[in-house]
Every structure is written in structure tokens, then in C-alpha cells.
A and B are shown apart, each in its own frame.
Chain A
Amino acid sequence: MSARDAILSRLKSTAPGPIEAEAAALLTAPERPAVDESALEAEFLARLALPSVNASHDVIAAMADLPAAIARYLEGQGEHLTLYLPPDPRLATCDWTGFTLHESAAPDEAATLAIARKGIAETGSLVFETSPQAPMLPNFLTLHHIVLLAVKDIAPYLEDAPLPGVQPRAHYWVTGVSGTTDIEGSYVRGAHGPRFLHVILLRD
């Protein structure tokens, strides 16, 4: 008998009943942190500022303002205007004069831009999926993780994060920077990946 058959033969359901309905019933009115749904932006920003998330943020009125906002941030950090840009057509409309743009991320890339599909007010999380326009690795190699998020894409709860239907290769939530407490419980930022997370809110 294969291991598969050996395992499954011992795992017959021990309780009768409509399994799917039972699973759905377990999701009724979940306990979760309260989020003021009439003030999602403020709720999101409050979570973003928590020590565990530790992100900075900026606000822009239009896509055209994005390069200037990034320049402001990088200059404030004492970094060159060097940036990895994902091949997302929404970014092509911006004027990147003055920037050195990377089409692929170097192993020690200093700054990377990514566009979040959603922000989650409950936790200050940024939600991403992989696609031909959105590689994943640059967001983890970089020291400064710069994320563009439209205010209209802020949703209240983590339940709002997943995509319906067919799943992409990776669906991921970023809720802060790469941190570790592995040496004496002492918190260090930038363990392997980003040391800084900067969110640019688009109020278009």
C-alpha cells in the first residue's frame, strides 16, 4: 500500500454531516480587532506607525507626484536616486528624470518600488501578488522597501486581502520590515531583507 493510501485509509471522517456548511459556520462573526470603517485611512496609518510595523509614510495627490515623493524619501535617507522599478505599466506614465532605474534587482539593491493591491487597516499590512508585472524577490532583496498604495484600496480586515478564484503563484502580506529577535530577544531591523518600509499613499 502506498503511503498515501495508508494515511488516507486511517483518516475517514469521524463526524457526520455537511462538511462545507460546517466549515462555513465556523466563520460567522469572527472575533477581530475593531476597525472604524468610516476612517480607514487613519486606522491604516495608525497601525503602520506601530513599533512592530515601523513604517514611514507620505501622501501624494496624483501618480505624477510619485517620482518626487520617492526622491524626497531617498534624499532624506541619504540615498542616491537609484531605484528598482517593477515592469508595471502604471509606472511608465511617470517622469523618472533624475533617477537611475534598475530593470532587475541587484543582490544588494538599495531601493525598490512596489504597488500594493490592497492595504489592510486591521494590521497595517500591504497585500501583493506575483505576476509578470510584479516579481517578488526585489521586495525582499532591497534595503528600502517603498510601496505605493491607493487610499481607495485600503480595506478593513485581513479577510479582505485574498483574491477570489484562481490563485497567483504567491499572495503575500508585508506588515513591517525584516526584523529579528533571535539574539537575546533584542529587536534588530533588516535581518535579511528590508530595513526600511516607506508607504506612499495615493489620494487620487
Chain B
Amino acid sequence: MSSFTAKADTATFKERTDAALADRILKVAVERTAGTAETKRGIAVAAFPDFDAARDRAAAIKDHVVAHLGHYLEMFEANAVAAGAKVHWASTADEACKIVIDLCKAANAKSVARSKSMLGEEIGLPHALAEAGIGRVETDLAEHIIQLADERPSHIIWPAMHKTREQVSALFKAKHRSPHEEETIAAMAESARRQLRGEMLGADVGISGANFLIAYTGAICTVTNEGNAELSLVPPRVHIVTAGIEKIVPSMPHAVHMLRMLARSATGAALTQYTTFYTGPKRPGDRDGPEEMHIVLVDNGRTKMREEGLAEMLRCIRCGACMNHCVVFRQIGGHAYGGTYPGPMGSVLTPVFDGLPQSRDLAHACTLNGKCQEVCPVRIPLPTLLKGWREKSWREGLEPTSMRVGLGVWAWVASRPALYRFGTGIAVRAMRLLGRKGWIDRLPLAGGWTQYRDMPRPAAQTFMAQYNKERRK
């Protein structure tokens, strides 16, 4: 990945999480947005007839597409081309960025309007545009805040979730031409509206992602609540779409089912405010729309995921429910994860993009409580996939020596029941020596436990010792 993420990547996971845990403002900000999302999703799901069956169907639709991905991509390409779009293919993030930059240069673009896309973040497009000297207008309000602050998104639905209103206010006052005067969120949003309206309408190129690619028609679908996608993509002369190859659905009714799941899982709404299907560039006689439409289909590790046991992750529709419901995310926020995608889905994806040696902590920093899988609209077995990374990390010798030796000795003893009884007997006696009044407040080898909580003092004898003694009576 590019230096766009370098700021966060220089710190270790522990340093990042310690900093996040010490930031009480962050905690409040995350809790406010994720907590609201959790509540609203709960209400929406309860009101939906048979959401569990709908999740089965959503998973089945995505599995069907992933199984026949080549077939559908070719069909999508043929239909998009027939509608007048140009389709480009990129194996890597760098290839994808190069295609976009070359298209912008060919269009003689001085500025591009960008509608938030996680794929764009994943491939480092903001950085690539900056390096090419092309001005970038982030039109999603949260991405606009992130751009002004020169930060990275901390959530896939609410990228500026970590910012408080006071921080946003200071930022707008420093950077907007005619900033708000009244200290309300509505006034701040109005300030951004004034600032962005002209910049959007003046862009030479509009860049978006795609929530869905419709194979049967060659359409790309974007969803927003702000309407910024439409304002970014209709006025410019060129519309460039960057989309992961897994975004395919066969037909419009399949997209309808996925949209029902997406909005409810993300925000608890029945549907996003603006849902648009773009098929090719403007038609003869049309009053608006771009003259050129380019669609860049990006692999960036997805074919490999399909081959190497992560096919289920390709079901992901980027709703963010897993992170909103994750006890770890709720404590540390998105930046501590260090990748483009935070939370449980990010912990599965980041090793694909950044490599396991750089990101092995992510798979371990999870209690395996299963809540993410319970809320996932496409039933991705996230805990199982995280355990898969743990196994790979163990096989490849990435786990710390202390862990490998400790677990090895423990397992060796535990495989010998008689020796194990002897060992547990000693352990119980040793632990009892450390305790007072039923509790142990400092325990060697378990400092992580007793640093924050007490350990109950064990009984005088193990269950097995007591049980066998009584039985012999």
C-alpha cells in the first residue's frame, strides 16, 4: 500500500490500541454512531419478515456469483460495452490507480469529484491522484472532513466517526471559504454544502465505486443518503468507476434483494435515499450525463481469496454491521486496526492486502464471541475465517516463541493425564500461596489478567483429586 497509510502503519498494533483506549473522546464518538446504528438495525430486522431466511438467500446469491464469477464478469463486460461504457481490468492496486490516472490525464482533468468508495481507499487512489497532481474533491461529507484533516477513514459507512462536532467545527473554520457562524451540526453541514457545491459542479471527472454491478444489463449501482454520488457523477464529462470484481449480481431483482439487506444492516433504513443504476454514458438527446463512462474491474487479491479458502469473504457487501456490533471495535475504533477496512471484516481482509506478518495481531485481537457472524447479512463465518488466519500464522512460525513454547509444553502435559493431574495439583498449591482472602491480585505469567482484575484463589484440591478421593472411600 501507499504512503497514504504510512502514518498509522509505523506504530505497532499495541501502540495504536493503547492510544485509542486512552482517547475518551474517541470512545464517546464511536459509541454514539455505532450504538445508534446497532439500535436502528435491531428495529429494522425485527420488523422484517424472516430476516434469517433473507440472509440465507443473500448468501446464496453471492455464493452463486462467486462460483461463476468469470462467467458473470464477461457478461457484465459485454453488456456494459454494448451500452457504450469502456471496461478496464486491473490485477493489482497499482494497475488500477494507473488506469484511473491515465484516464484522468487523457481527459485533461484538473480536478476530480470523488464519491466515497472503499475500493478507492483500498487501492490508494486518493494518494495516486495527489502524486499525479490532480485535484480531488471528496464529496461525501465524512470523506470531505477526512480530506480536510488529512486523515484516513475510521469506518466504512461513517468514515469520520472518530471526529466530534467541535473538531469538525474547527476544521471547517480553518478551511472553508465562508464557514458557519452558528455552532450547530446543521450549520456545519450547510457550510460544507456551500463549499462543495461549486467544486463538484466544476470537476472534469467524476469517480465512484459501485455497490453492485448488474451482469444482465451492464449497469453499475451506487447508493448514498447524501445524493453526492449523483452530483459528482452527472456533471463531469467523464465518469470513472472502480469496482472490486466480487461486486457482481446477476440481475436487477438480485440487486433488489441485496439492497434490502444492505440498508437495513448498515443504518436500519429500508433503503438508502438515493439508489442509482448507471448504464453507459449519456444517450443522444440527453440533457446531462457524462460523455464517457469507464469501468475499472479490480482484482487486488480477490481471485487469490477465492482460491485460498476466503471465498466466503467475497460475499461481503460492506455494510459495516460487523464492526458496529464488535466489542473490540467499540473500544478501539477503526484507526487502530491499521488497514483500509476496520472491524471483523477488516481483520479478515487486511492480511490479504498488507500481508500476514504485518497484520497477524488482527486475527488474535478478537474474543471469537460470534456476534459479527450473527449480524452479517450474508452470513460470513467471520470467526472461522479469523481462526484460519491464526492457523496460517502458527504454521508459518509467525507466533511469538513464548507462545509456541508455552502452548507446546502445556499440550504435552495435557496429553498425559496422570502427569497432568500431578501438574495441576502443584499449580493449585502454588496459586493458593499467592492468594489472600479468596483472591489473587498479582499472578506471575498472567500479569495481563491481574493488571486489571483479580483472580479467584483456587480450592485446596482439584476436582479430580477430590472426586477420586471420595470415590475411594
Are any A and B Cβ atoms less than 8 Å apart in their complex? yes
Assuming A171-B276, A172-B276, is B185 touching A193 (CB within 8 A)? no
Assuming A14-B67, A183-B141, is B230 touching A172 (CB within 8 A)? yes
The smallest C-beta distance from B173 to any residue of chain A, in angstroms, reads 14
Encode A158-191 as 1/0 by CB contact (under 8 A) with B: 1101100001111111111111111111101011
CB atoms of A158 and B260 under 8 A apart: yes
Give B143-158 interface residues, CB cut-off 8 Å to A: 145, 158
How large, as a class, is the contact surface on chain B? 35 or more
Which of A3-11, A56-64, A65-73, A90-98 has 4 or more CB atoms under 8 Å from chain B? Answer: A3-11
The smallest C-beta distance from A185 to any residue of chain B, in angstroms, reads 4
A136 within 8 Å of B (CB atoms): yes
- Residue from A8, A132, A137 in contact with B235 in the complex, judged by beta carbons closer than 8 Å: A137
Closest to B83 in A: A167
CB atoms of A140 and B64 under 8 A apart: no
The smallest C-beta distance from A42 to any residue of chain B, in angstroms, reads 17
B250 within 8 Å of A (CB atoms): yes
By a CB distance below 8 angstroms, the chain A residues around B321 are: none
- Residue from B186, B218, B234, B281 in contact with A136 in the complex, judged by beta carbons closer than 8 Å: B234
CB atoms of A172 and B226 under 8 A apart: no
Assuming A167-B83, A180-B141, is B225 touching A23 (CB within 8 A)? no
The smallest C-beta distance from A72 to any residue of chain B, in angstroms, reads 25
Closest to B267 in A: A181
Give A120-172 interface residues, CB cut-off 8 Å to B: 122-123, 125, 130-132, 135-137, 140-141, 157-159, 161-162, 167-172
CB atoms of A173 and B271 under 8 A apart: yes
Closest to B287 in A: A135
CB atoms of A183 and B168 under 8 A apart: yes
Complex: A125 Cα to B90 Cα, angstroms:
36
The smallest C-beta distance from A122 to any residue of chain B, in angstroms, reads 7
CB atoms of B306 and A11 under 8 A apart: yes
By a CB distance below 8 angstroms, the chain A residues around B53 are: 31
By a CB distance below 8 angstroms, the chain A residues around B431 are: none
B400 within 8 Å of A (CB atoms): no
A38 within 8 Å of B (CB atoms): no
Assuming A132-B287, A140-B230, A167-B219, is B245 touching A22 (CB within 8 A)? no
By a CB distance below 8 angstroms, the chain B residues around A181 are: 33, 36, 158, 225, 267
By a CB distance below 8 angstroms, the chain A residues around B299 are: 3, 6-7
B131 within 8 Å of A (CB atoms): no
Assuming A11-B303, A137-B288, A173-B271, is B73 touching A184 (CB within 8 A)? no
CB atoms of B71 and A19 under 8 A apart: yes
A26 within 8 Å of B (CB atoms): yes
List the 7 closest A-B pairs by CB distance, nearest first. A11-B70, A132-B285, A135-B287, A193-B227, A31-B54, A185-B33, A182-B142
